[in-house]
Structure 1
Amino acid sequence: MNTNEHNNTRERPSHVPDDRTIAPELAFDGEWDADAVAGLIRSKCGHEETPAFLFVGKKEAGLLREHLGEVFGADSVTTLRDTYYMGLEVIELDCESFLSTAGRKTHRLLQDPISRRPAWRDQDGDSGWRFHT
C-alpha cells in the first residue's frame, strides 16, 4: 500500500472496500456466527450470481481462525491466505473490525460428459419417423 504524505491517507487497491466509508454488514460479539454469514451470503445471491469475496477485519479474522481451528485443528489454520469460506475467498483487511461480502461470480453447473450425450432412442418407435431418401 502506498502512503500519500500530503494528506496522510492510504491508497487502497480498487477491489478492496474502504472500511472508513462502507459500513460492515455484520458484527460479532465474541464468536463466529456461521448462520449469520450464511444468511448474509444468501441475501446477496440472485439471478444465478453470488458474492465472490468475504472481507474481514482483524477481529473477524481471529474469530474465523478460531472457528475453523475447532473443525480442522488450531495448528492447521495459521493464516487465512488462499482460504475459501462458504465458497467465498477470504480477504483480510488491515483494520480492527469489518465484515462484508463483495464481488460477483456466476454459478456454473458442472456437467458430466454423459449428460451431454443424446438420449437413447427406441429403435422400433423411431423407425416410423425416419425418412430415407
Structure 2
Amino acid sequence: QPERGDQITVVSRTFDRSHLADAEREMEAAREELARKERLKTYMTLGAAGLGLLLIIILIFIYLRRRRAEREEEIFPMPVSEIAVTEEEEEEEEPYVPTEEEKRRIRRFDNVKEITGDNPEEAAKLVRAWLSED
C-alpha cells in the first residue's frame, strides 16, 4: 500500500455534560409538580366523597326523625274531644288572687298615692326626710 501521509492523532477530551444536569433538574421539578397535582386531585376526591357522605348522613337523620314523629302520632293520636278540652282549659284561666302580703302592699301603695295626690308638699318633705336619714 502506498503511503499517503495521513496522520491520525488521538486526544482524550471530556464531554460537556452540563446540559444533562439541567435536564435532570427539570425532570425532577416536573415529577414534583406531577406529584403535587396528583395529591391535590386525591384530596379533592376525598373531600367530595366526605361531603357526599355527610350529606347522606344528614338526609338519613332527617328521614328517621320524621318517620319516628309520624309513628308516634300513629301510636298516640289525640282524640278530637281531648283537643277541645285542652283548648277550653287553655282559655279558662283562673283569675289571679293576690296573697295577703300583696294585698297589704297594694293598700300601702294606694294610701301613699292618695296622700301625694292630696298634699304633694307634705309628701315631698316626707321623702326628703327619709332620704336624709339614709
TM-score by length of 2: 0.20
Bigger helix fraction = 2
| Higher RCO by CA contacts (8 Å cutoff, separation 6 or greater) | 1
Bigger strand fraction = 1
